Amino acid sequence: MYITSFKTKPVLVAALFSLFLAGCSAGQENTNSENVATHSVTHELGTAEVPDKAERVVTLELGLTETAAALGVIPIGVADDDKPERIAEDTMKLIDGYTSVGTRAQPNLEVIRSLNPDLIIVDVDRHESIYEELQKIAPTVAFKDDAANYETVVETTTKLGEALNKESEAEKLITQHNQLSEELKSKMEVTDKTVLQAGYSEGNVFSVSTPSAFTPGFLTTLGVNYALQDDTATTQELTIEQLLKINPDTLIVTITEDAPSVLETLKEDPLWNKLTAVSSKQVYEVGHNDWSRRRTLLAIEDNKEKLTEILQNMKTENAE
């Protein structure tokens, strides 16, 4: 009897221990199974039950990070492309101390899991392929940001407010933005003069934004006559020769962090100098991060001074 009992007890203990480990593993996979107050959120990839007061949020797109922080929810994990300088200065002050979860294109799932999040906020276009994996870690909601036009960014602001239980804060942010829009409209008059925004790259090629892109889309809502119409893509790759065919009266050129001045680089180029915007000194060099990579209502606020300058110059020319 003793021998039989002695042999079966370790087996029973081992079985119980295995069940305990399995339970721990399941608990680690999605820590949001606890009884917490939740609300249902409809997003681009379905519906999710998210905490009413999410405290450990991970954001995988810069615009979503910026807007969440502005609404009063500070992410603990951020996909920052390992380049924190891409995060807006005011946002960085709010989220300082966050953990980088890698790039927006390929976020590190193990790092995300280690943060034990209670909510993950992602971009539908970038992260649909890993959505199921993220859901196993925590409730995940997907919105449009990476390829979003202006109207979609406004909608995403509202939806993000709903997801974070910050509806009144989102409404306030949109109201302030609308007031700024009216202020900027007062800086210009209706004019036939055209505007174009483009990024410059090596080989004298410009990545020209269409009205489907964020900032150009905003400009069109002000009544600006945008020089390129295309509702099928956010950008077109054009040479200077092709740019000359469009020949905008005002050209906004976005410059990446370490890139040289386009005005300096192309100052001897004969085709470049034929552009009306160049000959009339209506080329504005602006930061690519603030004017293209950032797709938030706060970016418009930060660009207010330069936008006012551009619009006032159009008004001055029109009055002459």
Three-state DSSP at 312 gives: helix
The first and second tokens of residue 158, run together, are 């509202």
pLDDT value for 320 = 43
Q: What is the DSSP letter of 84?
A: G
* Global pTM value: 0.84
Strands 205-209 and 235-239: antiparallel
| Amino acid making up residue 99 | T
Virtual CA dihedral for 302, 217, 79, 124, nearest 10 degrees? 150
Each residue's pLDDT tens digit, 102-143? 999 999 999 999 999 999 999 999 999 999 999 999 999 999
| Amino acid making up residue 8 | T
Q: Is the pLDDT of residue 17 over 60?
A: no
pLDDT value for 182 = 96
pLDDT value for 256 = 87
Q: Give the separation between CA 38 and CA 27, rounded to whole angstroms.
A: 18
Residue partners of 281: CB distance under 8 A and separation at least 6 = none
Strands 57-59 and 119-123: parallel
Of the candidates 242, 174, 172, 185, the one whose C-alpha atom is nearest the C-alpha of residue 208 is: 242
Each residue's pLDDT tens digit, 171-184? 999 999 999 999 99
Residue partners of 305: CB distance under 8 A and separation at least 6 = none
Residue partners of 104: CB distance under 8 A and separation at least 6 = 60, 61, 62, 79, 81, 123, 126, 146
Q: Where are the alpha helices (DSSP H) in the chain?
A: 2-29, 62-70, 89-95, 109-114, 124-127, 131-137, 150-163, 167-185, 214-221, 240-246, 262-265, 270-274, 276-279, 288, 297-302, 304-319
Cβ atoms 87, 78 nearer than 8 A = yes
Each residue's pLDDT tens digit, 194-243? 999 999 877 789 999 999 999 999 999 999 999 998 888 899 999 999 99
Each residue's pLDDT tens digit, 260-280? 899 999 999 999 999 999 999
Own/partner long-range contacts of 32-38 (Cβ < 8 Å, ≥24 apart): 32/118, 32/119, 32/138, 32/139, 36/118
**Beta bridge partner(s), residue 43:** 46
Residue partners of 241: CB distance under 8 A and separation at least 6 = 271
Task: Please provide the average confidence, as pLDDT, over all residues in the chain.
Answer: 88
CA distances from 157 to 67, 120, 243 (A): 7, 16, 34
Q: Is the pLDDT of residue 314 over 60?
A: yes
pLDDT band at 64 (very low <50, low <70, confident <90, very high): very high
Q: Give the separation between CA 251 and CA 310, rounded to whole angstroms.
A: 10
Cβ atoms 78, 84 nearer than 8 A = no
Q: Give the separation between CA 197 and CA 284, rounded to whole angstroms.
A: 9
pLDDT value for 238 = 95
